A = this chain, B = another copy of it.
Amino acid sequence: MGKKNRHFHILKLIESVNVESQQAMLDELSSQNIEISQSTLSKDLKELGIIKIRGKEGRFRFVQTKERELFHVGLMLKKELLDFLTDSILVQNFLVLKTVSGNASGLAKCLDEIGWKEIVGSVAGDDTILVITQNEQDAKSVMSRLDEIISSR
């Protein structure tokens, strides 16, 4: 069972079951045949941006912080969604992004969430995204930021 899948299960876990400690999580995961050590779990939680808080009645809960969700979105952009980007064209203060068919909307949403300040908004079809910026400078900036991420893959 891979790491990604384990993360998926951990996220499910903190939403549904009431776990109050990492040990409880380990037990739950174990019952799903996911056997990991406490140190690995601790790192997983860190990666996922999950923290422990004290809810009502003094009970503990684990929740995912917004910052880290965003961090996660950033990773997603880097590792996955950009694989579907096939072309980018600069047109004045617009950036036209071409993607593998069907993936424009997903990539556009991701760009939205990441909230780069240069981007005013975007419209997505099936395989094309129109990214709108205030001026040509900003459009260029977005393009180079994307290029940078892409070439590091």
Contacts and interface: CB of A to CB of B under 8 A. Distances in A.
Interface of A: 1-5, 8, 76, 79-80, 83-84, 100-103, 105-110, 124, 126, 150-153
* Smallest CB-CB A-B distances: 9 pairs: A102-B109, A103-B106, A2-B153, A102-B106, A102-B105, A80-B80, A4-B153, A5-B153, A106-B106
Indicate how many identical chains form the complex. Answer: 2
Contacts of A152: 1-2, 5
> Dominant SS at the A interface?
helix
8 contacts: A2-B151, A3-B153, A4-B153, A5-B150, A5-B153, A80-B80, A100-B109, A105-B126
Contact of A4 (B76, B83, B103, B124): B83
